[in-house]
């Protein structure tokens, strides 16, 4: 089967309307010239600043003759809040993905595939253990170079996983010669698609996507129609009652060199970002410490700030270490020993496997604060410790919010970091947690 590279109706119409495309050549050659004094400068065409326009121009897949497309159009268009959520999340990554799809001359529909896979949620995790915006299962992720270890899961890395997904899709297209079949194989595996094709070939039945769809599982039968439905909504949002929020056609993030190990919270502070926003651009790190990452992604306007702050930072970059937990240890006991709550210990350690009594099913490493055992336990978590006999009404306090740092709090209240540490019995490695109250001078 030969590969198909056809423009869709919308892209074809745009091509006809593009400057320099004519049904017949002009009668006389026209010399290019600058706008004359009699022309309105506003009439000179400028690039469209909306990324959706760039995406629309790259659509290339043909329409599917199946009622499933209309069903999914109705489903998505009846959930504008769902569309808003995936646009909000996707706006961080979409420009990068579009650039990579364009470089490979792939249909731009592929840039919308994370909508179907994960709604652009990099921490999406399926029952089949698929992870990231492209939903790689562990084995396929490893086959395409996505490292998965105790510190990180590169299936969630935006740059690495996008490269792996496009490599995989190109290989599937080379195998089947058809993008719809490649997409089906991306969802259910090339073996299932190949068997469905072989079954139809023996019986003289069509071997295109719609022809083999009845031989595939329901999820795959709906997979490409879902993508075409999303494409149709993006093509004409008002027709579906959707207000598609504009996404700027400019890069959002860039890479900066990362230290060998650094607390995620500290890295976010150095970039002038909340921890939540930093993690959204660097979701591969599964621990409170980012280790072994050559680079971090930060917004373009934060890159120089991060570099300057990292160079000037004279405090420890890491405040967590590993604890060798034994099989059968109770999570509550480990948390108490390190002066954490069980919830804090769980938050610092993803995918803990516990029995019904809250004991570890297997031995392994856990992240715990440095110096959090024995006499140094007070250094593990930032806590306000009022002096004995001091009246509560006389103490000025501040409640820590997500993304706060001692440096930022000290600046806000015109004091020093050392003063705050002294007032609250905090060590240099102390970690601030939302909800904790700090005494102020």
Sorted by where each starts, the structural domains of the chain and their CATH numbers stand as: 9-22+44-240 (1.10.530.10), 255-312 (no CATH), 320-377 (3.10.350), 392-439 (3.10.350.10)
Give yes or no for residue 296 having a pLDDT over 80: yes
| pLDDT confidence tier of residue 220, bands split at 50, 70 and 90 | very high
Whole-number Å distance between alpha carbons of 350 and 287: 7
Whole-number Å distance between alpha carbons of 406 and 421: 8
Helix/strand/coil for 152:
strand
Give yes or no for residue 267 having a pLDDT over 90: yes
* Cα 2 to Cα 168, 176, 245, distances in angstroms: 19, 9, 38
Q: Which of 83-87, 98-102, 126-130, 377-381 has the lowest mean pLDDT?
A: 377-381
| pLDDT confidence tier of residue 106, bands split at 50, 70 and 90 | very high
Q: In the chain, what percentage of residues exceed pLDDT 70? A: 80
Give yes or no for residue 32 having a pLDDT over 90: no
Q: How far is CA 429 from the centre of its chain?
A: 29
pLDDT at residue 47 in the model: 55
pLDDT at residue 30 in the model: 41
User: What does DSSP assign to residue 36?
Assistant: P
Give yes or no for residue 26 having a pLDDT over 50: no
Q: What are phi and psi of 228, to 5 degrees?
A: -65, -35
pLDDT at residue 100 in the model: 98
Give yes or no for residue 11 having a pLDDT over 70: no
pLDDT one-digit tens code per residue, 244-256: 999 999 999 999 9
pLDDT at residue 407 in the model: 74
Percentages helix, strand, coil for the chain, rounded to the nearest 5?
Answer: 45, 10, 45
Give exposure, 178-191, as e/b (b: 16+ Cβ within 10 Å). Answer: bbbbbbbbbbbebe
pLDDT one-digit tens code per residue, 269-291: 999 999 999 999 999 999 999 99
Whole-number Å distance between alpha carbons of 153 and 51: 29
What element of type H or E holds 200? Answer: helix 190-202
Helix/strand/coil for 52:
helix
Helix/strand/coil for 247:
coil
pLDDT at residue 435 in the model: 62
pLDDT at residue 339 in the model: 84
Give yes or no for residue 172 having a pLDDT over 90: yes
Give yes or no for residue 437 having a pLDDT over 80: no
Give mean pLDDT, residues 14-22: 37
- Please give the residue that has the higher pLDDT: either 391 or 89: 89
What residues act catalytically?
117
Instruction: Say which residues have a Cβ less than 8 Å from residue 177's Cβ, sequence separation at least 6.
Output: 1, 2, 3, 4
CA angle 77, 224, 14 (to 5 degrees): 75
Q: Strand pairing partners for 198?
A: none
pLDDT at residue 371 in the model: 64
Give yes or no for residue 22 having a pLDDT over 60: no
Q: What are phi and psi of 248, to 5 degrees?
A: -60, 140
Closest-CA residue to 137 (of 161, 112, 121): 161
Give mean pLDDT, residues 183-212: 97
CA angle 98, 101, 104 (to 5 degrees): 150
Whole-number Å distance between alpha carbons of 68 and 119: 19
Helix/strand/coil for 66:
coil
Neighbours of 108 (CB within 10 A): 22
Whole-number Å distance between alpha carbons of 193 and 356: 41
* Cα 286 to Cα 32, 152, 175, 346, distances in angstroms: 57, 5, 35, 12
Whole-number Å distance between alpha carbons of 178 and 5: 9
């Amino acid at each position: 089967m030969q590969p198909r590279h056809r423009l869709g109706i919308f892209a074809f119409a745009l091509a006809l309307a593009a400057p320099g495309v004519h049904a017949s050549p002009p009668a006389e050659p026209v010399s290019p010239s600058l706008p004359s004094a009699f022309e309105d400068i506003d009439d000179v065409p400028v690039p469209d600043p909306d990324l959706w326009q760039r995406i629309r121009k790259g659509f290339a897949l043909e329409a599917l003759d199946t009622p499933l497309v209309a069903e999914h159009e109705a489903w998505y268009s009846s959930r504008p809040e769902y569309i808003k959520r995936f646009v909000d999340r996707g706006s961080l990554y979409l420009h990068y993905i579009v650039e990579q799809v364009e470089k490979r001359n792939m249909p731009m529909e592929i840039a919308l595939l994370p909508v179907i896979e994960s709604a652009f949620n990099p921490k999406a995790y399926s029952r089949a253990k698929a992870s990231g915006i492209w939903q790689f299962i562990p084995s396929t992720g490893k086959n395409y170079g996505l490292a998965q270890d105790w510190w990180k899961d590169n299936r969630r890395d935006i740059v690495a996983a996008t490269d792996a997904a496009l490599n995989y899709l190109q290989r599937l297209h080379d195998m089947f010669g058809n993008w719809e079949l490649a997409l089906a194989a991306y969802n259910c595996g090339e073996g299932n698609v190949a068997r469905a094709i072989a079954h139809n070939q023996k019986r003289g039945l069509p071997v295109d996507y719609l022809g083999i769809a009845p031989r595939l599982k329901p999820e795959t039968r709906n997979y490409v129609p879902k993508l075409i439905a999303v494409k149709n909504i993006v093509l004409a949002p008002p027709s579906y009652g959707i207000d598609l929020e504009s996404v700027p056609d400019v890069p959002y993030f860039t890479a900066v060199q990362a230290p060998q190990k650094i607390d995620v919270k500290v890295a976010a502070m150095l970039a002038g970002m909340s921890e939540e926003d930093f993690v959204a651009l660097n979701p591969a790190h599964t621990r409170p410490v980012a280790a072994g990452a050559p680079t971090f992604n930060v917004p373009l306007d934060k890159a120089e700030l991060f570099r300057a702050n990292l160079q000037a930072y004279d405090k420890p970059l890491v405040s967590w270490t590993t604890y060798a937990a034994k099989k059968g240890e109770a999570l509550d006991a480990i948390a108490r020993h390190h002066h954490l709550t069980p919830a804090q210990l769980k938050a610092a350690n993803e995918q803990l496997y516990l029995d019904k009594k809250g004991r570890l099913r297997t031995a392994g490493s856990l992240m715990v604060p440095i110096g959090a055992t024995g006499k140094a336990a007070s250094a593990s978590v930032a806590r306000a410790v009022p002096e004995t006999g001091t009246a509560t009404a006389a103490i000025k306090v501040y409640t820590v919010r997500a993304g706060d740092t001692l440096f930022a709090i000290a600046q806000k209240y015109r004091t020093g970091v050392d003063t705050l540490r002294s007032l609250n019995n905090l060590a240099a490695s102390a970690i601030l947690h939302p909800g904790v109250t700090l005494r102020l001078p």
